[in-house]
Structure 1
C-alpha cells in the first residue's frame, strides 16, 4: 500500500489547527464511516464528514489529506488492511479503549450521514452496525488486567472487520450495482 497513515500526533495537531473539536481517532472513525457508507470519496470530505461547509479542504500532502488517502487505500486493499488510528500499545488501557470508543462514535455518525436512514445491509452488516453503535456509547475503564488487554484486542479486530463488512455492503455493493445498470 503506497499511502502511509499519518501518526496520531500529526492528525491531532492538524485537527487542532483546523479548529475541529474532535479527537484524531474520532475523526478517523468519521472518515472511515463516511467511506464505508458510500460517501463521496472526492471533494472536500472534511466539510462533509464534519457537517460544516465552512471548513476548507485539507491541503494536498497535509496530515488530513494523507489520512484520507490512506483510509481510501486501506478500504480498497484486497488484504483487508484497514488500520484504526489510535494510541500505540504503550498507552494505557483506558487511553486505548477510549480512543477505540471515540473511533466507533465517529464511524457510526458519519456512516449514517453517508448511507442514509435505511441503508442496504446484509444481516451481518445490520448486526455489525448495531454492535458498533453499542461500542460508541461505551466508556473507558481506568485500569485492567491481562484479560482486559485481550478483550480490547478482540474488540479492535471486530471493529476493523465490521467496518470492512459495512464498506462491502454499502460502498462496494453500490459500485457493483451501478456497473450492472
Structure 2
C-alpha cells in the first residue's frame, strides 16, 4: 500500500504499526491513526509532517514517539501526496484482504472515527467549527460518522458482505478526496492559507 506514490520510501504494514502501538501502550489501531491524519488534512491542515504528528497526538490524546513517530511522519507525507495525486491513488490504511472480515470492518470503523477526530481537531483549532462546509462535505461527514458504527450483518452471505465492504472502502477513498478538495477550493477562494494547529 502507498508504495507507488512519490516519496513513498516504504510499504506501510498494518501489523508492524499495530505492534509499535502495543509496545507504546496505546489502545488505538493503525487505521485510526491514518484516519486521523487524513481528517486533519481534509480539514485543511496541510503543512510539515511534524505538525501532522502533533495534531494526531492531540486529536487522539496520544504520545507517539521513537520509530512509530517516524513512521507517522512518513505516513503523513505519503498520504498528503496521495490526496493531491491526479490519479486518485489515495487508500485508507486497512488490514490486508486475507484478514477476517469482522476485523476489517472493525478497522474501517476505527478509520472513520479517526477521520472525524482529526477533522474536528483541525476545525476547532482553526476556529472554523461552526463555518458552513463547502460542497458535499457536510453530507460526506455524516456518512463517515455513520460508517464508524458499521458492523457485519451475519444474515448476509459472505460474498455479499465482502462486496459491501469493498464498496464502502471505495466510497471512503473518494469521500476523503472530496472533502480534501472542497476544503482546498474554499481556502483558495477565500485567499487564505491552511489552518494551523495550536
Structure 2: tracts of 5 or more residues without a match: 194-198
Structure 2 match to 1:79: 87
Over 3 Å counting, the alpha-carbon distance change for 1:175 and 1:56 in structure 2 is farther
Indicate the larger mover: 138-147 or 34-43.
138-147
Residues 9, 134 of structure 1: alpha-carbon distance in 2 compared, 3 angstrom cutoff: same
Correspondence for 1:36: 42
Q: Does 1:113 align with 2:134?
A: no
**For 2:104 and 2:113, how far apart are their aligned partners in 1?**
14
Matched residues in 1 for 2:187 and 2:97: separation? Answer: 36
Which residue is equivalent to 2:136? 124
TM-score normalised to the size of structure 2?
0.78
Q: 2-side partners of 1:176 and 1:7: how far apart?
A: 38
C-alpha deviations, 1:97-120, integer Å up to 9, x for none?
111111001001111111232344
Alpha-carbon distance, 1:144 to partner: 4.9
Which whole-Å deviations, capped at 9, do the CAs of 1:46-104 have from their partners, x for residues lacking one? 23223178836666993222211211111111111111111111111111111111100
CA contact (8 A) 2:33 2:111 kept: yes
TM (normalized to structure 1)?
A: 0.84
Asked if structure 2 preserves the Cα contact closer than 8 Å seen for 1:30 and 1:103, the reply is yes
Q: How many residues matched?
A: 180
> Is 1:89 equivalent to 2:97 in the alignment?
yes
Larger mean Cα displacement after TM superposition, 46-55 or 91-100:
46-55
Q: CA separation in 2, counterparts of 1:148 and 1:140?
A: 7
Whether contact under 8 Å (1:101, 1:136) holds in the other structure is yes
Give the conservation status (yes or no) of the 8 Å contact 2:43–2:122.
yes
